[in-house]
């Protein structure tokens, strides 16, 4: 067998576990969701599930999810970008860069029940910060702080900021010092450099990163599920309710329609992210 064919065969063999994994846990569930959104409980084709998306509580949850995702994405993007900038302006092999990168790598993946518990133990009604503040300053942290949209926002920002640092650092690293020096030697001020050079160059990357953060929050489930047990203020929890509710049965296919709508939103956002990333990589890096 020719060498190139053997190499190609070897490469296919190497990615086979990944392909199998994504097929079983991504492609098949997506297919189940897509098909399920357009059939009724008896398996007959119907548009009723999609039409059901117009129900008030679903639209409310959609708006809340969009609001939560947008807010945490913007806060995460702004704070994360500033932190990333502080990191790139520090010594390349310095302690600050190494420690921030390592911490962000961990925190960006720190979600779900663990994160929910961390916040409960900190600023929950019996959290140590809550108790400490009350004992020493008389300040009372609202008991329901973590259990509504505001609380979810607070918790989401905790992983959005490190994620922004991780995805935005390569773009900042790609900004060459010569561009700043060239601008200055041509008579430009710092403001002019940011306005005409660094700003436009970083804009696609920062918008793209914000979109990624938006998608990250929009699709987050485990943290919200661990914190919110009463009511379903956001779409992922509405989907949960359609499958687990003991009050209203037979809603599974409506849940699939909601999930499909979420897939569409995330797909649109990620397409925008990919387009902006391509645009940035042409210029920077």
CB of 197 to other proteins, least distance (A): 6
Q: Which is nearer to other proteins, 179 or 275 (CB)?
A: 179
All residues at 6 or more sequence positions from 204 whose CB lies less than 8 Å from its CB, including other chains: 276, 277, 279, 280, 283
Q: Which is nearer to other proteins, 152 or 284 (CB)?
A: 284
Dist CA 133 CA 141 (whole Å): 8
Give the pair of three-digit tokens for residue 58: 């679903």
Is residue 168 within 8 Å of residue 209, measured between CB atoms? Answer: yes
The torsion of the CA quartet 27, 279, 78, 259, rounded to 10 degrees, works out to -20
CB of 236 to other proteins, least distance (A): 38
Q: Is 227 helix (H, G, I), strand (E, B) or coil?
A: helix
CB of 174 to other proteins, least distance (A): 9
Give the pair of three-digit tokens for residue 138: 């008389």
CB of 179 to other proteins, least distance (A): 6
Q: Which residues bind other proteins (CB under 8 A)?
A: 176, 178-179, 181-189, 192, 196-197, 200-201, 282-284
Q: Which is nearer to other proteins, 126 or 178 (CB)?
A: 178
Q: Which is nearer to other proteins, 109 or 190 (CB)?
A: 190
Dist CA 73 CA 134 (whole Å): 31
């Amino acid at each position: 067998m020719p060498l190139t064919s053997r190499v190609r065969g070897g490469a296919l063999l190497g990615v086979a576990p990944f392909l199998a994994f994504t097929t079983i846990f991504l492609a098949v569930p997506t297919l189940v969701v897509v098909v399920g959104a357009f059939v009724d409980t008896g398996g007959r084709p119907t548009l009723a599930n999609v039409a059901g998306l117009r129900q008030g509580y679903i639209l409310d949850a959609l708006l809340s999810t969009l609001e939560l995702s947008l807010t945490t994405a913007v806060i995460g993007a702004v704070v994360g970008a500033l932190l990333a900038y502080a990191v790139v302006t520090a010594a390349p092999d310095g302690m600050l860069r190494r420690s921030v990168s390592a911490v962000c790598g961990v925190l960006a993946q720190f979600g779900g029940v663990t994160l929910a518990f961390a916040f409960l133990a900190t600023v929950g009604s019996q959290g140590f910060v809550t108790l400490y503040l009350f004992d020493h300053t008389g300040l009372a942290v609202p008991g329901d702080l973590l259990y509504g949209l505001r609380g979810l926002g607070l918790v989401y920002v905790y992983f959005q900021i490190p994620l922004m640092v991780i995805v935005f650092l390569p773009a900042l690293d790609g900004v060459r010092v010569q561009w700043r020096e060239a601008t200055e030697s041509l008579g430009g001020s710092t403001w002019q450099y940011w306005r005409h050079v660094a700003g436009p160059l970083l804009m696609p990357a920062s918008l793209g990163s914000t979109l990624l953060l938006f998608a990250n929050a929009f699709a987050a489930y485990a943290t919200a599920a661990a914190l919110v047990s009463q009511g379903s203020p956001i779409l992922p929890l509405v989907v949960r309710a359609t499958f687990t509710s003991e009050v209203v049965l037979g809603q599974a296919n409506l849940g699939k329609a909601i999930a499909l709508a979420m897939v569409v939103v995330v797909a649109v956002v990620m397409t925008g992210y990919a387009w902006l990333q391509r645009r940035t990589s042409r210029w920077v890096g």
